[in-house]
Amino acid sequence: METHNETFMTPGEAFSLSGELALITGGATGIGRAIAHAFILSGARVILVGRRRELLEKAAAALGPAAGWAVHDVADTAHVPALVEDVRSRYGDVSILVNNAGHHLKKTIEETDEAEFRHMLDTHVTGAYALTRALIPPMIGKRHGQILFTASMTSFFGLSRVFAYSTAKSAYLGMVRSLAVDLSPNGIRVNAIAPGFIETDIARKAFEADPARKQRVLHRTPLGRLGTTEDVAWAAVYLCSPAARFVNGVVLPVDGGVLIGF
């Protein structure tokens, strides 16, 4: 009879984020806040980062003592050193970075001026680059860290009138692959989540104004429903947990099957 000497982690160990300190950009609302909530339930401390102090304070208070916050506009890369020093002095070294902050722009290339295009790239791409670059030295020193990007369905296929947004989110795929190759020898895993059509406040308002669009989305989604922010949040926990310790450089769709549907 074959015997197995390999010791398995328990489910509690495999999905635990105990001892981790996660910085989540765009963490006060929507998907970012849901990720923060799931991280805390999994044992991590979190730092919510965003532009609006009142939203950060409210979200952190609701999440409890494991949540802190720091005001920062990810497009303002000159402020990154001050942010990192503030976070380190108040909370310690970040071991998980979630590059989640972003904004949407529903315009064609003809309608998108250069300032709008640059701002989209500054927010998503340059902002993520600057924070990642600033936060990895302690991770490298400890040979432990996780970097997670929030990508998009537009990272994979074309959607109408989101030229700048699609360009920025597609850039994340290259960042994930390159960073995973460069950083994983130092004990840092790099992955991404690509949410499908998720029921956020913004999406809800948009669908209320255009019910036909919602029906098209549901028709395209094999599971036949919109995703929730919780669906995305638990996927984030998995990718940053020991359960995914051999998962590196991937982009995980959380989309109800949109990418494989027709």
262 residues of the chain, pLDDT tens digit each? 455 567 899 999 999 999 999 999 999 999 999 999 999 999 999 999 999 999 999 999 999 999 999 999 999 999 999 999 999 999 999 999 999 999 888 899 899 899 999 999 999 999 999 999 999 999 999 999 999 999 999 999 988 889 999 999 999 999 999 999 999 999 999 999 999 999 988 788 778 878 888 899 899 999 999 999 999 999 999 999 999 999 999 999 999 999 998 7
Q: What is the pTM of this model?
A: 0.95
Catalytic-residue membership of 165: yes
Q: What domains does the chain contain, in order, with CATH numbers?
A: 14-198+230-260 (3.40.50.720)
Q: Which of 91, 165, 172, 238 is catalytic?
A: 165
216 vs 218: CA distance, rounded Å = 6
Q: Where are the alpha helices (DSSP H) in the chain?
A: 11-14, 30-41, 53-63, 80-90, 114-121, 127-142, 163-183, 201-209, 211-220, 229-240
State the burial class of residue 224 (Cβ atoms within 10 Å of its Cβ: 0-12, 13-18, 19+): exposed
